[in-house]
């Protein structure tokens, strides 16, 4: 891929770091696959298995990384401080306005709709996010 000026978008990428990252990601996929190996269903790319779900997120992350690479660096310099301040404000506001969920005020609910599902598959989710899983 080349930009309008003829320079490659990948010209300034630190390829050594990219290769190390990809090796660690691949090692992580194999570790998850080995830890959750099922003799009846031995497919590393099966999206019903943990390793397949991890591979799906890896492809999502690689696509996101490519999109971020295409954004002009001046945009990061321009919006870095306003985004930083906005995130700090959200973090401080969360302390005061987030609902108390099992003694923690660390999650700000986006929806007012709550589902009190008591099934074990929902125990790991805050109550304000359970409606997206159960519907």
Mean pLDDT by 10 residues, the chain (135 residues): 62 89 91 78 74 87 89 90 94 81 68 50 51 47
What are the φ and ψ backbone dihedral angles of 104, each rounded to 5 degrees?
-120, 140
Alpha-carbon distances of 42 from 8, 35, 39, 62, rounded to whole Å: 41, 12, 6, 25
Distance between CA atoms of residues 13 and 69, nearest Å: 9
Can you give the pLDDT at residue 21? 92
Can you give the pLDDT at residue 85? 97
Can you give the pLDDT at residue 118? 47
Nearest to 55, CA basis, from 85, 31, 87: 31
Can you give the pLDDT at residue 108? 63
Instruction: Say what the pTM is.
Output: 0.55
């Amino acid at each position: 891929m080349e930009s309008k000026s003829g320079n490659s978008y990948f010209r300034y990428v630190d390829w050594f770091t990219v290769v190390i990252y990809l090796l660690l990601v691949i090692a992580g996929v194999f570790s998850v696959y080995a830890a959750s190996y099922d003799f009846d269903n031995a497919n590393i790319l099966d999206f019903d298995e943990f390793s397949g779900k991890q591979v799906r997120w890896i492809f999502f992350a690689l696509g996101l990384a490519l999109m971020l690479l295409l954004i002009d660096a001046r945009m990061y310099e321009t919006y870095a401080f306003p985004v930083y301040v906005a995130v700090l404000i959200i973090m401080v506001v969360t302390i005061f306005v987030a609902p108390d969920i099992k003694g923690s005020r660390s999650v700000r609910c986006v929806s007012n709709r709550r589902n009190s599902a008591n099934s074990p598959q929902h125990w790991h989710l805050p109550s304000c996010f359970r409606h997206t899983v159960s519907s």
